[in-house]
Structure 1
Amino acid sequence: MITFDQVSVVYDGADRPVLRDVNLSVDEGELCLVVGHTGVGKSTLLGAVNGLVPHFTGGTLYGSVTVDGRDTADHPPRELADVVGVVGQDPLDGFVTDTVEEELAYSMEQLAIAPAVMRKRVEETLDLLGLADLRHRALHELSGGQQQRVAIGSVLTAHPRVLVLDEPTSALDPTAAEEVLAAVTRLVHDLGVTVLLAEHRLERVVQYADRVIHLPGDGLVVAGEPSEVFEASSIAPPIVELGRAAGWSPLPLSVRDARRAARPLRTALAGVTPAPVRPTPAAPGADLLTARGVTVAYRGVPAVREVDLGLRAGEVTALMGRNGSGKSSLLWTLQGSGPRSSGTVRVAPGGPGAAGPSKDGDPKKLSAAEARRLVGLVPQTPTDLLYLESVEQELDQADAESWGGFGSGAEGAYGAGAPSARALLDRLAPGIDGATHPRDLSEGQKLALVLAIQLTAAPRVLLLDEPTRGLDYRAKTQLIAIVDELAGEGRSVVVSTHDVEFAARAADRVVVLADGDIVADGPTAEVIVASPVFAPQVAKILSPLPYLTVGQVASALPGNGEEDA
């Protein structure tokens, strides 16, 4: 169905090809998982399938890519639309209408499908992806996860023979992600649809893959059976990392297979107290931010209902809950930019960047610059904060804004010797050229850039809305290290996330929202293990033992020393 024949892709001004001498064949009805670190060329590989590379992106494509017998060099994307459906990393980039129902119908209108057939397919897709209650909603009013499902649905209604999905579950809660992946799997097995899927949260998708396509980062491509590729790949889900640590062969790819293989391991670990996932704070910190009775409503419909929340110094809090539960609305309200129907938010005085004693500690009542040093927010769509012409300009502007109130030199909110925005970016996503336009970066690189910009100001309270979207495991580890440093300096960090593996490693505390209400609030191990939806893979495999991460298991195995969790 898809054939790459000696394909190389070189972008204008690049000193080396993104893809080099790629030979690859994907059969009809095959689900291929594309894996690799951020920025290695996964999006380029996927974009070559429907001609976006190079017809839209520019650059030069050497060799040939054929899809269902059509050479993409001779057929631009519009001439492949009946065969290939593409869902990009950012759903907003692909929307062309105003409401959910219109968006689902749009691609069929362009393909001149009969109205009666269109109506039937729209209804089927609404039910398939759980969107029926949203059919008349404006797209800009939806949560990030809801927008992701609409983007996938808008492609499915055209019934393509090839489906290309770039981070399709990145904004979805665990239950919604399972529903989407189950729908994709049904298309593969029941209709013979060919699927290429790139995803950083491999723990969600690896068990569905027929084949794995690994991009090591040198432009080459390695393809093979999942268990074979993951034996040597530089990127792997927790279940594979656990299998490697325990010496299992073949490597398990599903929790069911891993639990069967783990019986001896559970016996060996019984009675061994696992090392703590996170460093234990010396003493509970004081509340840096206190919210009381906070309510947020849109057009009279409450999104957050009388929430009471205290964010303590030195604590990392994971904010979790299904799509549309009110997480983003709560974060924007705490930061001061979002609406607040009632209630109060106050940030304690004192510390770097805090408002002076004469200032009200409510971020909503302060100037943007003052509020940013109190409470920083990284939104779900990081490009909202990028407006300059190059990465270097964005980084320099961040340094200037963060240090401007503290004199010249690296003496910003961190104090003397503070890391620059460039240094922070290099830790999250190394190797990004400063001359690159920010909107030419991959989604993971954009997110890393915005994280670096916001972290430069080192606010007392940092709110991150889905910060791991587009980040690989290595970048998540670097993000955890930075979050740990901020917490160690006495700051409070809140991470709104659907990434249960990240929450298990990064958070001291988990707060769960449902329909705008807080339904759970407590230590990470207690909250996430109590729910099969939020439990990480290691906890599911080793239950009832109290292990959450591969690092805990590795350090407890005989002959192994302490390892990072």
Structure 2
Amino acid sequence: MITFDRVSVVYDGADEPVLRDVNLSVDEGELCLVVGHTGVGKSTLLGAVNGLVPHFTGGTLYGAVMVDGRDTADHPPRELADVVGVVGQDPLDGFVTDTVEEELAYAMEQLAISPTVMRKRVEETLDLLGLADLRHRALHELSGGQQQRVAIGSVLTAHPRVLVLDEPTSALDPTAAEEVLAAVTRLVHDLGVTVLLAEHRLERVVQYADRVIHLPGNGRVVSGPPSEIFTTSSIAPPIVELGRAAGWSPLPLSVRDARRAARPLRTALEDATPPPVRAVPDAPGATLLGARGITVAYRGVPAVREVDLDLRAGEITALMGRNGSGKSSLLWALQGSGPRTAGTVRVGRDESGAPGPAKGGDPKKLSAAEARRLVGLVPQTPTDLLYLESVKQELDQADTESGTGTGGKAAAGATGPPARAILDRLAPGIDGTTHPRDLSEGQKLALVLAIQLAAAPRVLLLDEPTRGLDYRAKTQLIAMVDELAAEGRSVVVSTHDVEFAARAADRVVVLAEGDIVADGPTTEVIVASPVFAPQVAKILAPLPYLTVDQVTAVLPGGEADA
């Protein structure tokens, strides 16, 4: 179905090819998982399948990419639309109509398919993806999982033989992600669709893959069965890391298989006490932010309902819940920029005696600059805050707005160190002349963090910061967050990434329909939930382990594979 014959891709101005002498063959009805660290060429590989590379991206493609007998060098994307369907990371970016039914029909209209056939295919797709009850719903009213299924359906109505998915679960809660992956698996098994799926949250998808295509980072591509590739791959989900540490062979790829293999391991760990995931103070710090009765409503429909929340110094809180539970609305209400129907927020007095709004107050009643000195917020898409032409310009502007001088000197009344110094601590080595849009996802996040931290807020709110980050970048983010907590700040991370929450958070707050339904230590809250529990917790239950590092820290050598 798909063949890469000695394919190399070189972009203009690049010293090395992104892809180098790639030979790859994908059969009909295969679900191929494309893995690799950020920046190794996954998007280039996917883009070559439907002709985006090089027809729209530029650069030079050497060799040949054949899809269902068509050479992509001779067929631009519009001439491959009936064969290859592409779904990007954000379904809303690809929608062009208003309702579910209209969106499903749109691609067929562009292909001049007859109305009779269109109606039949729309009905089939509605049933296949479980969307029949939503046919007349407005797209913006749907949950994230529903939007993702509509995005997949909108390309399926053209009856493509190949489906390319770029991080289809990155914005979804665990339940919605399972719904989308179940729909994709059904397409592979029942319709024989060939699927290429790139995803950073491998723990969600690895059990469904027939084959793994690994990009190790030197332009090469390695392909093979999942258990074989993950034995030595540079990137792997927690279930594989645990299997490697325990010496299991073959490596289990599902929680069910891992639990069967883990019986000796659970026995070996019964009498051991797992170390804490991260060092937590014996007593919580002072309350930096107190929120009472926070209510947010849109057109009379409540998104957040009378929420009370205290955020303490040195504490990292994970804010979790399904798509549409009110997490982002709550963060924006706490920061002061978002709507707040009722309730109060109070940021405590700064014990250092710093002048101005740092003495405390409600961010909503202050100017934007003053509010930033109390509560900083990094939105789901960090680039929303980047609008200048270079990294240096962004950092200088942050210093100007926060009252911090450039050149390493603080201006009178400054509240924090220069933004450049903060960025060098978070992500050293970024050239100031680089355009912000040319940075990796992890570097963009570090830049926006530096901009926000230049104002020295005592409370920092991060909305879905792990979207687009691989495991290595998430580890770097955890180190950043740990540093902020060690400085006495309070950090709130809104996330659907249960593995990240298990490693990074001291406390988990779970929202459902705008209400707090759980609030407590990470171990107690997520282990008790079959939805939010990380893989290690599911495999080793009822033992209280959350991460692979906890297991390896207490396990004597050789007992794992006894």
- TM-score (normalised: structure 2): 0.92
Secondary structure of 1:46's counterpart equals helix
Distance 1:474 1:525 in 2: 23
Structure 1 residues 164, 451: CA separation in 2 closer, same or farther (over 3 Å shift)?
farther
What is the correspondence of 1:271-420 to structure 2 with a 5 Å cutoff?
Answer: 271-350=271-350, 356=356, 361-402=361-402, 404-405=403-404, 409=408, 415=416, 420=421
**2:520 aligned with 1:522, yes or no?**
yes
Structure 1 residues 284, 124: CA separation in 2 closer, same or farther (over 3 Å shift)?
farther
Alpha-carbon contact 1:2-1:68 (below 8 Å) kept: yes
Once the two structures are superposed, residues 302-338 of structure 1 have per-residue CA deviations (whole angstroms, 9 ceiling, x without a partner) of: 1111111111111111111111111111111111111
Structure 1 residues 515, 137: CA separation in 2 closer, same or farther (over 3 Å shift)?
same
Distance 2:186 2:385 in 1: 38
Match of 1:240 in 2: 240
Secondary structure of 1:251's counterpart equals coil
Distance 1:151 1:433 in 2: 37
What is the identity, as a one-letter code, of the residue corresponding to 1:514? Answer: A
Structure 1 residues 317, 4: CA separation in 2 closer, same or farther (over 3 Å shift)?
same
Distance 1:397 1:358 in 2: 20
Alpha-carbon contact 1:465-1:495 (below 8 Å) kept: yes
Distance 2:443 2:87 in 1: 19
Distance 2:450 2:121 in 1: 43
Secondary structure of 2:356's counterpart equals coil
Distance 1:130 1:518 in 2: 29
**2:41 aligned with 1:41, yes or no?**
yes
Once the two structures are superposed, residues 483-511 of structure 1 have per-residue CA deviations (whole angstroms, 9 ceiling, x without a partner) of: 01111111111111111000101111111
1:479 pairs with one of 477, 480, 488: 477
Structure 1 residues 398, 160: CA separation in 2 closer, same or farther (over 3 Å shift)?
farther
Structure 1 residues 408, 435: CA separation in 2 closer, same or farther (over 3 Å shift)?
closer
Q: What is the number of residues matched between the two proteins?
A: 556
Secondary structure of 1:265's counterpart equals helix
Higher mean C-alpha deviation, range 407-416 or range 357-366: 407-416
Q: CA deviation at 1:269?
A: 0.4
Alpha-carbon contact 1:354-1:460 (below 8 Å) kept: no
Distance 1:160 1:101 in 2: 19
Structure 1: tracts of 5 or more residues without a match: 561-565
What is the identity, as a one-letter code, of the residue corresponding to 2:93? Answer: D
Q: CA deviation at 1:346?
A: 1.6
Once the two structures are superposed, residues 256-286 of structure 1 have per-residue CA deviations (whole angstroms, 9 ceiling, x without a partner) of: 1111111110000001110001212142112
What is the correspondence of 1:25-424 to structure 2 with a 5 Å cutoff?
Answer: 25-122=25-122, 125-126=125-126, 138-139=138-139, 147-350=147-350, 356=356, 361-402=361-402, 404-405=403-404, 409=408, 415=416, 420=421, 422-424=423-425
Q: CA deviation at 1:536?
A: 0.5
Distance 2:71 2:423 in 1: 42
Alpha-carbon contact 2:144-2:176 (below 8 Å) kept: no
Alpha-carbon contact 1:53-1:61 (below 8 Å) kept: yes
Distance 1:511 1:176 in 2: 19
Q: CA deviation at 1:64?
A: 1.2
Once the two structures are superposed, residues 215-257 of structure 1 have per-residue CA deviations (whole angstroms, 9 ceiling, x without a partner) of: 1111111111111111111110000000111111111111111
Q: CA deviation at 1:455?
A: 4.0
- C-alpha RMSD of the superposition: 2.6
Structure 1 residues 92, 13: CA separation in 2 closer, same or farther (over 3 Å shift)?
farther
Match of 2:488 in 1: 490
Structure 1 residues 239, 202: CA separation in 2 closer, same or farther (over 3 Å shift)?
same
Structure 2: tracts of 5 or more residues without a match: none
Q: CA deviation at 1:434?
A: 5.4
Structure 1 residues 423, 408: CA separation in 2 closer, same or farther (over 3 Å shift)?
closer
Alpha-carbon contact 2:357-2:373 (below 8 Å) kept: no
Structure 1 residues 261, 64: CA separation in 2 closer, same or farther (over 3 Å shift)?
same
Distance 2:106 2:16 in 1: 39
Distance 2:532 2:321 in 1: 9
Match of 2:498 in 1: 500
Alpha-carbon contact 1:316-1:507 (below 8 Å) kept: yes
Structure 1 residues 441, 352: CA separation in 2 closer, same or farther (over 3 Å shift)?
farther
Distance 1:146 1:504 in 2: 27
Higher mean C-alpha deviation, range 296-305 or range 88-97: 88-97
Alpha-carbon contact 1:353-1:374 (below 8 Å) kept: no
Q: CA deviation at 1:200?
A: 0.6
**2:557 aligned with 1:556, yes or no?**
no
Secondary structure of 1:510's counterpart equals strand
Alpha-carbon contact 1:354-1:370 (below 8 Å) kept: no
Alpha-carbon contact 2:148-2:180 (below 8 Å) kept: no
Structure 1 residues 7, 98: CA separation in 2 closer, same or farther (over 3 Å shift)?
same
Structure 1 residues 130, 361: CA separation in 2 closer, same or farther (over 3 Å shift)?
farther
Q: CA deviation at 1:559?
A: 4.5
- TM-score (normalised: structure 1): 0.92
Distance 1:143 1:519 in 2: 20
Alpha-carbon contact 2:287-2:310 (below 8 Å) kept: yes
Distance 2:378 2:225 in 1: 38
What is the identity, as a one-letter code, of the residue corresponding to 2:538? Answer: K
**2:544 aligned with 1:543, yes or no?**
no
What is the identity, as a one-letter code, of the residue corresponding to 1:503? Answer: A
Structure 1 residues 376, 190: CA separation in 2 closer, same or farther (over 3 Å shift)?
same
Match of 2:529 in 1: 531
Structure 1 residues 407, 424: CA separation in 2 closer, same or farther (over 3 Å shift)?
closer
Match of 1:563 in 2: none
Q: CA deviation at 1:89?
A: 2.4
Once the two structures are superposed, residues 348-387 of structure 1 have per-residue CA deviations (whole angstroms, 9 ceiling, x without a partner) of: 1216897736976111122222212211112122232221
Secondary structure of 2:176's counterpart equals helix
